[in-house]
A and B are shown apart, each in its own frame.
Chain A
Amino acid sequence: MEILLQQIINGLVLGSMYALVALGYTMVYGIINLINFAHGEVLMVGALTSWAIIVTMQESMPGTPGWIILILAMLISCVVAAVLNFAIEKIAYRPLRNSPKLAPLITAIGMSILLQTLAMIIFKPNYKPYPTLLPAAPIQVGGAVITPTQIMILGLTALSLAVLMYLVNYTRLGRAMRATAENPRVAALMGVKPDTVISATFIIGAVLATIAGIMYASNYGTVQHTMGFLPGLKAFTAAVFGGIGNLAGAVVGGLLLGLIESIGSGYIGVVTGGVLGSHYSDIFAFIVLIIMLTLRPSGLLGERVADRA
């Protein structure tokens, strides 16, 4: 039982990160129908920037409380990632808005490789330890342990989701976003500026991805230039799983995927008598996805099936 509870906690933590990244994918897809392959790299840039800030601050201002450093690092790296993502959209995706659909897909892939390479050149290719800023002492919860970092992750996810939901449901910008996602042409006729909305979407996505990146780094304790790839892929899977284009779907998909992965890798050894190990944890996401899409091609909460490839 303790193992199960522990795996559920781990799964929720993992799932929160997937959910935040998945929101970025799903918002972009919902509006411009693009699989933004560079989104995982935005997470990486956010995490590496925050690492650089934390390390410099710890050196130059010793004695500053951890949480202040963390908040400052988070704010600055969010701004950096937001500016970057805004620029990426403007340079690589906007000029291709009316081109064949595979063209922006290729620039997105190119952007993803470019960001990884640049990050490698700037930050060197080695793994860097990510400082622990919160107290390390774990807290016992009914036989399982939860660390302050994990509590921060869950809290931060809840907060980000609340802010996002408010933004999307109760603000002018949110209404414009929903309208553009529904039908960009009609939205434009109603006075919405699609370009502004799309830029805003990329900025919001970048902020969410950076938060997820910092969580990821704090949870695993290392950062590196390739760290964005796998979470990006999983988050995209989560977005499709929940029904791409659907915000609630992305959150549900992310959390479910985190839980499945964590419980799956916790039990696969037991179930198969040690034949299959936790090395296989990375494929749960995909197996679940394939089964899911076979049964429900539009995802868990998705309604419309794209009628064109």
Chain B
Amino acid sequence: MAGKPNKKIVVYAVSAVVLLVLPLLLQGMGNFWVRIADMALLYVLLALGLNIVVGYAGLLDLGFVAFFAIGAYMYGLMASPHLSETFAWFAKMFPTGLHTSIWLVVPLGAFLAGILGILLGAPTLKLRGDYLAIVTLGFGEIIRVFLNNLDHPVNITNGPKGLGQIDSIRILGLNLGRPLEIGGFTLSAVTLYYYLFLILVVISVVICHRLELSRIGRAWMAIREDEIAAKAMGINTRNMKLLAFGMGATFGGVSGSMFAAFQGFVSPESFSLMESVMIVAMVVLGGIGHLPGVILGAVLLSAMPEVLRWVSGVFDLQRLTEGRLDASILRQLLIALAMIIIMLLRPRGLWPTREHGKVPGNGGK
């Protein structure tokens, strides 16, 4: 399938160098551009997680953003003064708030999201296809409504106002929230985050790739292609589906906590159904079940609109169209058109897998 081994190594080496140098180049043009790259990496992480559920196991999950939200709020609560400000008894124990180390928060967030993923999966095991889609969608909405309303009677999430003053990430004494100087060259905070996210993405890609080739991955794909046949071959479809939900959700939890640390602020607005839909769109547009495709889809759908936003700012669209068309509207318009046009031209995604004849919910009934 792939070319000669040494050709492959060259490709890897070149892309590694490009990825490592990219933020340094972008940094020169302004932190805005590095931020876009950071967000793109976070979306890659999310899309990789959802790809496990939708791409490998064939379970259409329209509420994936719920796990992202759980990771984000978990980090937000444990690394901001919110709890101490709200509860007197809590302030007595931790006067300045919990400032938990990321070595504890991130695994905890991932674990919690994973457990919730399994809990969501459990009652929906009997459901398939579109029924599953609507239930997961409902689950995402339920989580969002709770985040929005759990500010009374007990103020846990601070409601629509969201949680602020969230700590930036500190790893081994290095605070990623502050610029770092190395021999006269300054790495801005967003660039530091870029490298952290890049490491996470690389680890995730390796995990996903190993999973795909493993017994578990093959079991998932068997379930995706034909559940009854998979069962007949002795695959424990129940456990495998739960595992897929759990693993996918874990990715969501990790990227959620990263998002909270990166933004320093979380509010229910970031976790709308639209976000879930966008993540599904990334996976499907790129090439469902195919790692390079999924990454391409995530980068395209997250970075392209931001670039367009900049373009429309440069040309001052708002004045040209008498206020009817501004950057955010144009962005939305183009996302919608991209979704429609890409699917019409390449219904199997921009960069589909070669080996699998089928993707979930293949044509016929």
Among residues 280 to 309 in chain A, which have CB atoms less than 8 Å away from a CB atom of chain B?
A: 280, 282-283, 285-287, 289-290, 293-294, 297-299, 305-309
Chain A interface bracket (under 10, 10 to 19, 20 to 34, 35 or more)? 35 or more
Would you call B337 and A98 a contact (CB within 8 A)? no
Q: A102-B60, A109-B339 are in contact. Are A289 and B277 (CB under 8 A)?
A: no
Would you call B347 and A100 a contact (CB within 8 A)? yes
Q: A103-B347, A279-B145 are in contact. Are A309 and B361 (CB under 8 A)?
A: yes
Smallest beta-carbon distance B67→chain A, Å: 17
Please pick, from A99, A100, A118, A244, the residue contacting B130 in the complex, using a CB distance under 8 A: A244
Smallest beta-carbon distance B266→chain A, Å: 19
Chain A window 101-120, contacts with chain B (Cβ cutoff 8 Å), 1 for yes, 0 for no: 11111110111111011101
Chain B window 125-145, contacts with chain A (Cβ cutoff 8 Å), 1 for yes, 0 for no: 011111111110111011001
A289 to B363, CA, bound (A): 27
Smallest beta-carbon distance A229→chain B, Å: 8
Confirm or deny: B206 has a beta carbon within 8 angstroms of a beta carbon on chain A.
Answer: no
Confirm or deny: A96 has a beta carbon within 8 angstroms of a beta carbon on chain B.
Answer: yes
Chain B window 110-124, contacts with chain A (Cβ cutoff 8 Å), 1 for yes, 0 for no: 000000000000011
Would you call B288 and A102 a contact (CB within 8 A)? yes
Confirm or deny: A212 has a beta carbon within 8 angstroms of a beta carbon on chain B.
Answer: no
Count: A-B pairs, CB below 8 Å: 165
Q: Which residue of A lies closest to B63 (CB)?
A: A286
Please pick, from B145, B224, B336, B365, the residue contacting A282 in the complex, using a CB distance under 8 A: B145
Which candidate, B101-109, B168-176, B324-332, is the interface stretch facing chain A?
A: B324-332
Would you call A29 and B145 a contact (CB within 8 A)? no
Would you call B153 and A275 a contact (CB within 8 A)? yes
Q: A106-B339, A279-B149 are in contact. Are A297 and B127 (CB under 8 A)?
A: yes
Confirm or deny: B200 has a beta carbon within 8 angstroms of a beta carbon on chain A.
Answer: no
Would you call B343 and A103 a contact (CB within 8 A)? yes
Please pick, from B133, B138, B148, B324, the residue contacting A285 in the complex, using a CB distance under 8 A: B138
Confirm or deny: A95 has a beta carbon within 8 angstroms of a beta carbon on chain B.
Answer: yes
Chain B residues near A114: list those with CB within 8 A. 333, 336-337, 340
Chain A window 24-62, contacts with chain B (Cβ cutoff 8 Å), 1 for yes, 0 for no: 000001000101000000000000000000000000000
Confirm or deny: B284 has a beta carbon within 8 angstroms of a beta carbon on chain A.
Answer: yes
Confirm or deny: B248 has a beta carbon within 8 angstroms of a beta carbon on chain A.
Answer: no
Please pick, from B132, B134, B344, the residue contacting A96 in the complex, using a CB distance under 8 A: B344
A104 to B343, CA, bound (A): 8
Q: Which residue of A lies closest to B130 (CB)?
A: A35
Given A29-B130, A100-B359, A286-B141, 9 new contacts (CB under 8 A): A102-B359, A106-B280, A237-B134, A274-B153, A290-B123, A294-B123, A294-B126, A307-B128, A309-B224
Could you tell me which B residues sit within 8 Å of A by CB distance? 58-60, 123-124, 126-135, 137-139, 141-142, 145-146, 148-149, 153, 224, 227-228, 273, 277, 280-281, 284-285, 288, 324-325, 329, 332-333, 335-340, 343-344, 347-348, 358-365
Q: Can you list 7 A-B pairs, Cβ within 8 angstroms, ordered by A?
A: A101-B129, A102-B60, A109-B280, A118-B333, A121-B324, A280-B145, A293-B135
Which 10 pairs of residues, A with B, have the shortest CB-CB distance? A110-B339, A286-B138, A101-B361, A99-B347, A114-B336, A309-B129, A113-B336, A103-B347, A110-B340, A294-B123
